[in-house]
Structure 1
Amino acid sequence: MCGRFSITQPTDAMARLFDAAPSNDLPPVPNYNVCPTNDVATVVAGDGVRRLVAMRWGFIPTWYKTPTDGPLLINARSETIAQKPAFAEACRTRRCLIPADGFYEWTKDETGARLPWYLYRADGQVMVFAGVWQTWRMGDQDLTTCAIVTTAANERLSAIHKRQPVILNPDQWALWLGEAGHGAARLMRAGAEDQVDFHRVGTAVNSNRASGPDLTKQINF
């Protein structure tokens, strides 16, 4: 799964990378500890134009009466996304890209203590998650929300966690966004074993209030 991530790319750099027009309400960067319910930068496409827009991380199904009316849906499983009522329509018609520098996962030691790891692209490029989105409306409330699509981890990453985000390469972005026709379902799988690298980081990130570049720094253990 993916429950926390980091993003340090400046807005103008992300706009250039995705050839997208940026909105004026994007969340501030850098953010080394993006948490569920935070606003995140996402890329959407329509009418031949890509846009870089802010969305709340935590997908709200249309039938929720309030944003907290049910579980917080930060991830969508690739194996069931097309059948789940919460995600089925979004999977077909509202897909997005969610840029990150990397994401955090946790293992446990023999005492049950949570040990954080930072996972990032081995080639040093921006990590781009497959996402789905929708706008939830109730009365005068209006929230555009998203979830990260996850899949079974490849053999190497399964040592850290059994799930991982679907990570898209640049040549896959157009297909996921619906710009290159049909067939996005085939992208919902783990990448190559050497696509992602990882290292242990300090336990400060165990707190969702933690911040700063030290959160991603490698520690010896």
Structure 2
Amino acid sequence: MCGRFAVTLPDDAMAKVFEAMPGNDLPHVPNYNVCPTNDVHVIRAEDGTRLLVSMRWGFLPHWYKAPNDGPLLINARAETIAEKPAFRAACRERRCLIPASGFYEWTKTEDGKRLPWYIAPVEGEVLAFAGVWQDWERDGQAFRTCAIVTTGANAEMSKVHHRMPVILDRRDWGLWLGEEGRGAATLMHAAPDGTLKLHRVDPRVNSNRAEGPELIEPLIEPI
């Protein structure tokens, strides 16, 4: 799964990397502790143009009567996304990229303590998560919402968790966005082994109120 991540690239640098036109009211960056229901940066394609826009992280199916009417859908499983009523139309018609500098995962000690890890690319400054998006409107409230597609873990990630985000290679961005015809389903797999690095970080990040660059710094274990 993916329940927390970091974004450190400035908006203009992000737009350049993804060859996208930046919109207004983009989320604040850097953000070292992006949490569910936060607004996040998203790249979507429209009429042959890539747009860098803001969306709420937490997919709202059209039948939800309120934002809290059902489970908070921050992830969509690659294995079932084409079948689940919440995601199947978005999987065909509304795919997007969700940029991240890295993401967090947790392991547990025998006494139940949650130990956070930060996972980042071995090369490059940004990861592109596969995502899906959905417009939702009810009783005067309107949100454009998204979820991150997840799959089984690769060798590095399996050390800390059995799931991970689908991370798309640059050459596959156009196919996922629908710019290059059919075949996006073939992209929903784990990133190749050796492309990610991970290290323990301070448990402060366990709080969704924590912030600052020190959250992603390697933890120096006490002697």
TM-score calculated relative to the size of structure 1: 0.98
**1:80 equivalent in alignment to 2:80:** yes
Match of 1:69, as an amino acid?
A: D
What's the RMSD between the two structures over aligned residues? 0.7
> Which residue of the partner structure matches residue 39 of structure 2?
39
8 Å contact from structure 2 (residues 156, 196) kept in 1: no
Question: SS of the counterpart of 1:91?
Answer: helix
> Which residue of the partner structure matches residue 90 of structure 1?
90
> Which residue of the partner structure matches residue 176 of structure 2?
176
> Which residue of the partner structure matches residue 219 of structure 2?
219
> Which residue of the partner structure matches residue 24 of structure 1?
24
Matches within 5 A, 1:48-127: 48-127=48-127
Q: Write out per-residue CA displacement over residues 104-148 of structure 1, whole angstroms, 9 at most, x where no aligned residue.
A: 000011211000000011113311100000100113111000000
> Which residue of the partner structure matches residue 11 of structure 2?
11
Match of 1:180, as an amino acid?
A: E
Quote the Cα distance in structure 2 between the aligned partners of 1:110 and 1:134: 40
> Which residue of the partner structure matches residue 196 of structure 1?
196
Q: CA deviation at 1:220?
A: 3.0
Match of 1:89, as an amino acid?
A: A
Quote the Cα distance in structure 2 between the aligned partners of 1:94 and 1:125: 25
8 Å contact from structure 2 (residues 23, 52) kept in 1: yes
Question: SS of the counterpart of 1:211?
Answer: coil
> Which residue of the partner structure matches residue 149 of structure 1?
149
Question: SS of the counterpart of 1:25?
Answer: coil
TM-score calculated relative to the size of structure 2: 0.98
Quote the Cα distance in structure 2 between the aligned partners of 1:3 and 1:144: 19
8 Å contact from structure 2 (residues 131, 147) kept in 1: yes
> Which residue of the partner structure matches residue 206 of structure 1?
206
Match of 1:14, as an amino acid?
A: M
Match of 1:175, as an amino acid?
A: L
Match of 2:199, as an amino acid?
A: H
Q: CA deviation at 1:156?
A: 2.7
Structure 2 residues without counterparts, runs of 5 or longer:
none
Q: What is the aligned residue count? A: 221
Q: Write out per-residue CA displacement over residues 166-212 of structure 1, whole angstroms, 9 at most, x where no aligned residue.
A: 00111010000000110000000001110111000010000000000
Q: CA deviation at 1:163?
A: 0.3
Match of 2:66, as an amino acid?
A: T
Question: SS of the counterpart of 1:124?
Answer: coil
Q: CA deviation at 1:39?
A: 0.1
Match of 1:92, as an amino acid?
A: R
